[in-house]
Amino acid sequence: MARPDRPENSQAPGQNDAELPVPLLYRDAMMLVIDKPAGLPVHSGPPAQRRSIPVLTDHLDALRFGLPRRPEAAHRLDKDTSGCLVLGRHPRAMAELNQMFRDGRIGKTYWAIVQGEPALDEGLIDLPLGRRSPERGWWMKVDPAGLPSQTRYRVLGRGHDGAGPIAWLAMEPLTGRTHQLRVHCQASGWPMLGDEIYGTAPREGGPGLQLHARAVTIPLYKKREPIAVTAPPPPHMLAALQACGWHPSD
């Protein structure tokens, strides 16, 4: 089994950060990196949902750390995706981070558990994506007329759960399309475990989406090494990861 890369968090948060509303992985004068819990939306949804569903913006005032403005998310994670989320602490930081994401200079690695057996231990998925329908603007499909979309993947482990073979993947999106990793896995013949839209998971009582933003690498400072941050896997993925050979020391 290939051993996953394990970049270390460049700066650990302070001890009092344990009382924060979301886990803090990294903090400096320009940015924060938090470990977003699965199920927490980054932004508010339709008006009918805003009163009943907590969102990340509800917690941002607690992440100011003495600055007059609260931080803002510099990119997005799906509601059901856990892991590394980068926040800019002021307008200049947001401008720099946004440009770096647009230019593809920020490295992102996701861990995913998929159903099935990828034939190759690594590869590149190169499938353009477009909207599935105007009514479901955030649901995507493989579309020859869609936007170019590329994902590099590597199999880190293989195993079985009660329903059949599963695999543990490290995935690097080379483009940033909506639901890109999920659609690319489904189109490759191995949908993500727990995916209610593109996989076989039930709407209620499923295992939860097995997709985790494991690591980010951010070359924010010209005269320093890139900032490398990792997020521990979430509890709902541990059983499947262990079935594929993962150990807590990985």
- Residue 78 bears catalytic tag: yes
Catalytic residue (one of 5, 17, 58, 78): 78
Q: Would you state the pLDDT for residue 93?
A: 97
Q: What is the mean pLDDT of residues 38-63?
A: 78
Q: What is the mean pLDDT of residues 99-112?
A: 96
| Single-letter residue type at 236 | H
Where along the chain do its domains lie?
Answer: 15-243
Q: Would you state the pLDDT for residue 20?
A: 84
Tokens of 169: 């993947």
Under a CB-based contact definition with an 8 Å cutoff, are residues 191 and 200 in contact?
yes
Q: Would you state the pLDDT for residue 52?
A: 63
Per CATH, which fold does 15-243 belong to?
A: Pseudouridine synthase (3.30.2350)
Q: What is the mean pLDDT of residues 138-165?
A: 94
Rounded to whole angstroms, the Cα distance separating 77 from 86 reads 10
DSSP 8-class letter at 29: S
CA angle 79, 166, 192 (to 5 degrees): 25
pTM of the model: 0.89
Rounded to whole angstroms, the Cα distance separating 6 from 1 reads 15
Q: What pLDDT band is residue 39 in, cutting at 50, 70 and 90?
A: very high
